[in-house]
Amino acid sequence: MIILEDKGQQLGKHTIKNDYWKSLGIEVIRVPLPTGDYVINNDKTQDVINRKMKRNIEAKKMDFLGTYNVTVDTKKDISEISDNVCGKGHARFRDECILAQNNNIKLYTLVENREGIADLQDLFNYTSERRKRWFQIRNAHQKGKMLSYKISKIPPVSGEQLAKSMLTMQEKYGVTFLFCTPEEAGRKVIELLEG
């Protein structure tokens, strides 16, 4: 098996997954993927790679459209998915979901975490350390303490808000959100890609 990894994935940040695949003899090739972080190499994706190599040019993201129908996008933690769904990264993430939907690509978003979040139901009851800290500082400000600590006017998103937004995106764009520990991610990516 060969897994194609999006070139946008930061080198050195996915060693647990990459070490797992290496232990199984799975090769990982980095290419620019239009949507998702991982796909299984197939005849169509290999044809793109071969044709570009023959011409001695780099493949582009759009060269791979129509070559795969399942992809897994990974998020390093709850904070990253929160930014993608409810924060500054929303427009880019939404566009990636729409690109997958418009091209009949099943997009799984796998959120790695060490907080024990196993599904969206767990997320409804989750409170991040950032959110707890925001309220502690705000309460201290109201008592005239910790005034040197600056906080935004709006608290970090709650687990409930994030879960509701993720459910909306699932319904609207067909993306499926799943959760696992970083140690489970390599195995889970393969399971999802293989169907």
The whole-number pLDDT of residue 134 equals 57
How far, in Å, CA of 86 to CA of 143, rounded? Answer: 30
The whole-number pLDDT of residue 148 equals 73
Q: Which two tokens stand for residue 78?
A: 């709850």
How far, in Å, CA of 92 to CA of 94, rounded? Answer: 6
pLDDT lower than 70: segments of the chain: 131-132, 134-138, 141, 152, 154-155
How far, in Å, CA of 31 to CA of 108, rounded? Answer: 19
Residues 50-88: tens digit of each pLDDT = 999 999 999 999 999 999 999 999 999 998 999 999 989
The whole-number pLDDT of residue 143 equals 76
Dihedral sign for Cα 117, 193, 64, 57, please.
positive
Q: At what angle do helices 90-102 and 159-173 cross, to 10 degrees?
A: 30
Residue 194's closest CA among 32, 60, 24?
A: 24
The whole-number pLDDT of residue 31 equals 97
Domain 2-194 sits in CATH 3.30.420.340: no
Using alpha carbons only, give the angle 54, 57, 62 rounded to the nearest 5 degrees: 105
The whole-number pLDDT of residue 127 equals 79
The whole-number pLDDT of residue 71 equals 98
Amino acid letter, 146: M
The whole-number pLDDT of residue 21 equals 97
70 touches 193 (CB < 8 A): yes
111 touches 177 (CB < 8 A): yes
Number of residues that make up the chain? 195
How far, in Å, CA of 88 to CA of 158, rounded? Answer: 16
Please identify which residue in the block is written with the tokens 């978003």.
109
> pTM of the full predicted structure?
0.88
Task: Provide the 3-class DSSP secondary structure of residue 39.
Answer: strand
Amino acid letter, 167: L
Q: At what angle do helices 90-102 and 78-86 cross, to 10 degrees?
A: 80
The whole-number pLDDT of residue 13 equals 82
